[in-house]
Amino acid sequence: MQKIDNDIFYEYIKQYDQDSKYHLVGEVDYHILYSDKPHDGMESHREALRFVFDWLVKQSIEDKESARTMFNDDLADQLHPLIYDIDKAQPSPLDRQVFFYCPNIVKTDYYGNVWYDAEWEPNDENCGTTVPYWYALMEPVHGRKNKPEDFKKVNEVLFPNGTDELDIYEWTTDWSDFFDDGHEWYGACCWSVYDKSLNRYVVMLVSATD
C-alpha cells in the first residue's frame, strides 16, 4: 500500500480545512491509498487500515517530539504514541445506498441549528457510537456546517466514476485509542472503501468530542 498524496480530491477539500497533514471535511478524515497487489477482498481492506494506522502512529510520535522541542518535557511526556490492534477490528459490509444516503434540510433556526428529514438523529442513545457518514460530514463539533450539496459534491470528486463499483465496510472501533475521543461523546467511525474502477482504497475515520 502507498498513500496517494497528489489526488485532486485533496486540493478540492482545502476549502473545508487548510491543514496539510490531515484531510478533513466536517469530522471525516480521508486517506486515499493505492496497492500494486491484486485486490484480495477483506484482507486488502484490512491491509489498508493497517497502513493508515501505521502512518498515524508515526504522526503521533512526531507530535510528541515536536511538543518536546516547542514546549517542554513535562508536556511531551503526557503525550503517548497511538496504539492499535488491527486483528481485533471486525468488519460489516455496507449497502452503497445506505452509506451515501443524504437527508434534506427541513429547518434552520436563528442560532444555526439544523433539522433534517432523517430517521437517525443525535441523542443520548447514540452518544459515542457510530454516526452516519452524512452526519459526520455535515455536522462537525465546531466550525463550518456543510449542506447536502457539499456532501454530494465531495463524494462526486472522491469517487469520480460513481458508486456502482464500490465495496464498503464499516469496522468496529474498539481496537485503537484513536477512537477514544469519539467514544466519549460525538461518535467514532471507521470505514474502508475499495473503488474497483480506479483500483484504489479510501479509509475514512471519525473520532471527535466536545
Cα 100 to chain centroid distance, Å, stands at 14
Entry pTM:
0.91
User: In degrees, to the nearest 5, what angle opens at C-alpha 151 toward C-alphas 178 and 6?
Assistant: 65
The pLDDT value recorded for residue 142 is 86
Residue-wise pLDDT for 169-195, tens only, equals: 999 999 999 999 999 999 999 999 999
- Domain hosting 29: range is 2-208
Residue 80 grid coordinates: 503517548
| 68-118 confidence digits (pLDDT tens) | 565 555 554 555 778 999 999 999 999 999 999 999 999 988 888 888 999
Q: How confident is the model over 17-76, as pLDDT tens digits?
A: 866 667 899 999 999 999 999 999 999 999 999 999 999 988 877 765 565 565 555 554
Domain count, the chain: 1
